[in-house]
Chain A
Amino acid sequence: MQVFFQTLVGGIGFGAIYALVGMGFTIVYRTMGLVNFAHGQIAMIGAFVGVTFFLNSRLPFAVAVILSMTVTAAVGLVIEGVLRPLEAKDFDLMLIGTIGFGIVLEALASKIWGATGRAVPAPMDRPLHIFGIIVRTYDLVIIAVAAAATGLVWALLNRTKAGAAMQAVAMDREASTAVGIRVGRSNAMAFALGSGLAALAGTLAGPLLYVSPSLGSSLGIKGFCAAILGGFGNINGAIIGGLGFGILDGFAAGHFQQYSDLVTFLVFAVAIMIRPTGILGEQTVSRA
């Protein structure tokens, strides 16, 4: 039982990160109907930038996180700008375009920071003992930050004009143009926001995982799975899916050791076949 809870708590820690990655995917998908396969690589860039500020420039962890979010938001704007001609035209082609960007970002990271990567010490690592379960303080930090970020995103989407515009574009692109929303700018903002969230997830994941150029594909794929599991295009879905996937991953690692990836992805494939729209159902998105 103790092992069970131990695994559960660890799974939730990772799950919070997957939820953040999934949320970034979701915001971009909801607004512009684009599935960003470079999202994981953006998170990886964020992790590297954050680590550089944290370890090399000796800035506080929180400041490093915010700086890295700014950098990736800019990266997101570039990607959106380049792929804009394809928006609302060819869905699969845009998807492949983001794969291209993913390849480029991974190569850039290898060029700038080297292919080997680096280990990051957790900003706080005093373990807590609760009912015989060892809880890393850092896991709690991740969960708190993820919760706070979710709240902020929710407020942004539902309590601000820009957020309302993003939701409107998601529902009907043409009608939004007709009422004077600048679809392009709204999409750019969504992409920047999504990329910022990716950096947050990447930087937070740094101390748990090893920061290397290949961090992107593992974070990206698992975050994407999380978003689909919860119900793609659905913010709540991303969170539930993220936590669910983190727990699944945790138990797979506990029970099947080196075969955890195999089990995780097989379970995921079966789950998607049983319920393609995920736990909460896909939010319909207007797209070509």
Chain B
Amino acid sequence: MIAKAGGLLALVVFALVLPYHLNLYWIHVTDVAVIYGILALGLALTMGIAGQVNLAQVAFFGTGAYASAALTTHGFAFWVAAVLAVLITAMVSIAVSVPALRVQSHYLGIVTLGLALAFTNIATNASITGQADGLNNLAVPPLAGLDLSDDYIFYYVVLATLGIGLAWATFVVQTRLGRRLRAMRDDSLAAAAVGAETPYLRMTAFVLGGLFGGVAGVLYAGLIRFVSPESFSLSSMFFLLAGVIIGGRFSLLGSVFGAILLVFLREELSNYSIYAQLLYGGLVVLIVVFAPTGLVGVPGRVWKLAGRAAWLAPSRRETAKAGGHLSARPYLAKRAPDETEPRAAVDEPMALQVKGLTKRFRGLTALEDVDISVPTGEIRGIVGPNGSGKTTLFNVISGLYTPSAGKVQVCGTDTTGARSYRLAQRGVARTFQNVRLFGRLSVRDNVLIALDSTTTVWAWRYVLRPLSVIRSDAALRLQANALLSLYGLSDVARSLPGVLSYGTQRRVEIARAMAREPRLLLLDEPAAGLNGHEVHQLAEIVRDVRAAGVTVVLIEHNMGLVMSLCDRVTVLANGRVIADDVPASVASNPEVISAYLGDSGHDDVELAEADT
């Protein structure tokens, strides 16, 4: 921590005294580099933090620059034009974000690239942008009597902007909005399941890119006082992308550093521009293969390697030996919902009602005319041979699939076909068959995302009331700590999920689902991969969850657990309900036995387990 603060201080001092050692040429280059740093922040937020492939960042840059240039030449005062230009860029970024609602990954890459080309096309041809010649003799930004045509003074303006931008971006990344963006990057499905409104988050990600692009564009127009289409071409886009990748796209500081580095490199090699291009293209390839987290990640990786080389660091060898998997503390049964907040009185007798539900995938009917009613406060087991439609049922109830026919009601409200984040907001929480935690977020952050019950619109506070964001985040952290200690996870709160044992990961996932304070909890094979002790703990957890007033529906293959834990069991086979009764009667139902032993013989293993 102290080393970090010291490093940052040294960096600030270095940046402040830098101009005294630079000549007129290099100070100009430095100004451009810092502006690229601001631009890179935007790309890092959209792409590195939120995981949205954005190849239109330089078009945002251009929009900001052209807008402020065109407005000042039409008589607007510089700073008025600047504010308008940033707003215009934000609007453009919202427009560009619309395709992200429908497509992702490479599709999004090519769509944004196409829109970037459309931008250069406008810039080269429209009369308001001065066509291929661009706009020149632009206004010098006036600032409290300072002469900003002087590149030395301008340096401090861009530096301050970068500093503020970096601080604000860090603030965004470390609090609610950024956590949600990162969660969406790691697993958008799971993010939606804990109530993150992924479509709006995608738009927000692009708006963040647009804001930084707009600001960088305004400064660029103010510095160069000339804008032309070439500055915002595709090659500039790839240049910026290369900088962010080389620096490290997951790190804001890394992205800024990478972009600044590349600008200097390009300038240093300006007489050999082809070699510069070869160099940064090659660097991108090397980074992608050997250091995917970028240059900022390199020291960490080296440190890790050093730790593995035992003779280098004997003390680290011990931890490596003991290491392997981190485990959580054993779960202590609570029963009686005393510590948790008192819940609203239950006025709805049925927590979940499924009527005539059918789901077809092209030719395959996964669910056919399924009826299930789960009374509030029940623990319901859903069993059935593999491929009988259990997970499909969960996916329909939790909004991942729209049913082909039929209705789903949660606590009396019709939720058929609602999006999964809406369902999460209405009190449905779930876990997944193959644990889906946010891999690059700590256990605490995983829980924090689910605890956050605000909607995306709440994010306006980031611009207008940042202090209230900090206060509410502190409150959220307290809640998270309470929840983590309730589930015996305090010791692993800072760890990434990947280093935890499988059983602990499952428990984190349940804690995350419970952080939503749901009315209905769906558990998809919660005991899969757990040892006997962990299964016992799981049963304790589920009983406590129910004691807190939550209705639980669980899919499970472990018959021992189902028989001892569930109040009632529904059996699915080939997409139909073949039995729905108390555990004892279900176990002796001949149709159920034939479903398990008859047409899918390999499932007899599971039934044998039930006896143990």
Contact = CB atoms under 8 A, between A and B. Distances in A.
B118 A265 contact: yes
A269 B97 CA distance: 11
Interface string B101-133: 111011101110111011011101100000000
Contact of B292 (A90, A103, A276): A90
Given A97-B288, A103-B242, A265-B118, A276 B107 contact: yes
B111 A102 contact: no
B282 A95 contact: no
Contacts of B124: 258
B293 to A, nearest CB: 10
A100 B281 contact: yes
B278 A111 contact: yes
A83 B289 CA distance: 7
A107 B277 contact: yes
B99 A265 contact: no
A228 B234 contact: no
Contacts of B241: 96, 99
A90 B51 CA distance: 13
A254 to B, nearest CB: 16
Contacts of B101: 273
Contacts of B289: 82-83, 85-86, 97
B502 to A, nearest CB: 20
A92 B110 contact: no
A99 B102 CA distance: 23
B115 A100 contact: no
A273 B103 contact: yes
B462 interface: no
Contacts of B105: 35, 91-92, 95
SS class of chain B's interface: helix, strand, loop or mixed?
A: helix
Contacts of A228: 107, 110
A102 B288 contact: no
Interface string B53-65: 1000000000000
Nearest to A29: B106
B292 A273 contact: no
A92 B106 CA distance: 8
A97 B125 CA distance: 33
B167 interface: no
B585 to A, nearest CB: 41
A270 B122 CA distance: 18
Contact of A99 (B51, B121, B125, B238): B238
A191 B468 CA distance: 53
Interface in A49-100: 82-83, 85-86, 90-97, 99-100
A175 interface: no
A225 B241 CA distance: 21
B285 interface: yes
Given A85-B289, A107-B278, A262 B242 contact: no
A138 interface: no
Nearest to A97: B288
Interface in A204-253: 217, 221, 224-225, 228, 232
Contact of A111 (B107, B120, B274, B285): B274
A268 B121 CA distance: 15
Interface in A5-42: 35, 37
A268 B99 CA distance: 11
A272 B101 CA distance: 11
Contacts of B99: 269, 272-273
SS class of chain A's interface: helix, strand, loop or mixed?
A: helix
Contact of A273 (B98, B120, B277): B98
Given A101-B285, A261-B118, A265-B114, A110 B102 contact: no
A258 B280 contact: no
A221 B117 contact: yes
B114 A221 contact: yes
Contact of A217 (B98, B234, B277, B278): B234
Interface in B263-310: 274-275, 277-278, 280-285, 288-289, 292
B245 interface: yes
Contact of A102 (B102, B103, B238): B238
Contacts of A94: 288
B580 to A, nearest CB: 35
A29 to B, nearest CB: 8
A96 B107 contact: no
Contacts of A221: 110, 113-114, 117
A154 interface: no
A104 B281 CA distance: 5
A108 B234 CA distance: 17
A95 B99 CA distance: 19
Most buried by B among A97, A103, A106: A103
B7 to A, nearest CB: 28
Contact of A272 (B111, B120, B292): B111
Interface string B368-396: 00000000000000000000000000000
A262 B121 contact: yes
A115 B273 CA distance: 11
Given A86-B289, A217-B234, A228-B110, A97 B284 contact: yes
A108 B284 contact: no
Most buried by B among A37, A92, A115: A92
B106 A108 contact: no
B285 A269 contact: no
Contacts of B122: 259, 262
Contacts of B107: 228, 232, 272, 276
A266 interface: yes
A224 B110 contact: yes
Contacts of A35: 105-106, 109
Contact of B281 (A92, A107, A260, A276): A107
A104 B110 contact: no
A103 B234 contact: no
Given A97-B289, A111-B278, 15 more contacts: A82-B285, A94-B288, A99-B284, A100-B282, A103-B242, A103-B284, A105-B281, A107-B277, A110-B277, A225-B110, A225-B114, A258-B124, A261-B117, A269-B99, A272-B99
The 5 closest A-B pairs by CB, nearest first: A103-B281, A100-B284, A265-B114, A104-B281, A107-B277
23 contacts: A82-B285, A82-B289, A92-B105, A93-B292, A94-B288, A95-B105, A96-B288, A97-B284, A97-B285, A99-B238, A100-B245, A103-B238, A103-B280, A104-B278, A111-B278, A225-B114, A228-B110, A232-B107, A258-B124, A259-B125, A265-B121, A272-B102, A272-B111
